Each structure stands twice: as C-alpha cells, then as structure tokens.
Amino acid sequence: MISEKIILGIDPGTTIMGFGIISVKRGKMEMVSIHELILKKYPNHETKLKYIFERTLSLIDEFHPDEVALEAPFFGKNVQSMLKLGRAQGVAMAASLYRNIPITEYSPKKIKMAITGNGNASKEQVAGMLQNLLNLKEFPTKYLDASDGLAVAVCHHFNSGTITDTKSYSGWESFLKQNPDRLK
C-alpha cells in the first residue's frame, strides 16, 4: 500500500496570502495546487480575517491535507503590521486546528535555507528553485506570495522527522500547553 501525504503550506499576509499544496508519495514531491487570496480589495482588517478563515477551511475541505505548515511572522519595526500579520497567521492556524490538522511553524530564514541553501535568498530565487525541485515547466502564478506558500510546504517535507526551531501543535490543547502566556 502506497502511503501519500498531503501538505498545505501557508504564507500569511494581509495584502496577499499564499497557499501551496504538495503531495508526497514514496518520498517524491509533486505540486497539487497553488493559490493566493487577494486581500487588498477588502475595506477592513476584520473582513480580511474572515476571508482568510473561510479560504483556509475551503482548501482543507477540498484537498484534505494531513499536515499544515505556516511561515511564522518575522519581527519588523512596524508594530501595527506585525499585529495584523500575526492575526492573519492565527486565523489560518485556527482554521487548521478547527479541522484537527497538525500545524508546524517555520521561520522565513529556515524556509529559504531549506529550499535554496541560503537563508537570505530572494523570493525570486526561492521560486526558481521550487520550479526546479517540482519539475514545473513554468511557474503557475505571478504572485510570489503564492510561491512562498508552496515553499513552506516543501520546507515542511524536507524537515519531516528532523524539525528543530519550529513549533508543532496537534490541536488546541497542545497549542495552549505550549503557549501558556497566551491564556488570560
């Protein structure tokens, strides 16, 4: 019996959110789908969060991933941007946990390192390497946020069984145990 694993990778964003889905059979990766959610057209942050939750759930329900991997927000100078990005990530995490799918977070540097061997690689370099790794004749999207979602899924596959510097949660209880500071 051939075991197949489906991994949903998510690059959280408040302007464009990227999603990449891969299938792994006998250690061989194949791109299943790539999506982006364009959020800049929505009038407020609350509406964006609603669409992030709905889109994440719809992809989970359509593709039935075994695991979800997310890019962890990086620390920038703009606190408001960080808060909004963290909320977007949290909503995607909530949708995954709502469907009881284990989630893992990766830092942007770790993702770039896993894909290109260079933690400071550009988005274009990551997309080019993904094209090679997944044997894509051309890249199926113009948005690099979508390719970043795909990179998160591939990074997760490469790190399966050897995960360090990441956080994994198998459900709400696991999340709360590992994050007691988030309880009030």
Beta-bridged to residue 5, according to DSSP, are 24
CATH of the domain at 13: 3.30.420.10
**Res 76: pLDDT:** 67
* Rounded Cα–Cα distance for residues 158 and 141 (Å): 23
Q: Is 145 one of the catalytic residues?
A: yes
Task: Per residue of the chain (184 residues), give pLDDT as tens.
Answer: 558 999 999 999 989 999 999 999 988 999 999 999 999 999 899 999 999 999 999 999 999 999 999 998 776 677 888 888 889 999 999 999 999 999 999 999 999 999 999 999 999 999 999 999 999 988 777 778 889 999 999 999 999 854 444 455 556 666 667 666 656 5
> pTM (2 decimals)?
0.85
Q: DSSP secondary structure string, 72-139?
A: PPP--S-HHHHHHHHHHHHHHHHHHHHTT--EEEE-HHHHHHHHHS-TT--HHHHHHHHHHHTT-SS-
The full length of the chain comes to: 184
Counted domains in the chain: 1
**Exposed (0-12), middle (13-18) or buried (19+): which is 164, by Cβ within 10 Å?**
exposed
Catalytic residue chosen out of the listed positions 36, 67, 105, 145: 145
Q: Write out the residue range of the structural domain in which residue 68 sits.
A: 5-182
> Which residues on adjacent β-strands are paired with residue 22?
7, 31
Known catalytic residue: 71? yes
What pLDDT does 117 receive?
94
Instruction: Please give the structure tokens belonging to residue 7.
Output: 């991994």
- Contact between 39 and 14 under an 8 Å Cβ cutoff? The reply is yes
| 61 annotated ligand-binding residue | no
Q: Which residue among 67, 71, 105, 148 is the active-site one?
A: 71
Whether 71 has a binding-site annotation, put simply, is: yes
Bridge-based pairing of strands 28-38 and 67-71 is unpaired
Encoded amino acid at 137, one letter: K
Residue 36: how many CB atoms within 10 A of its CB?
22
Residues 6, 32 contacting (CB under 8 angstroms): yes
Q: Any binding-site annotation on 145? A: yes
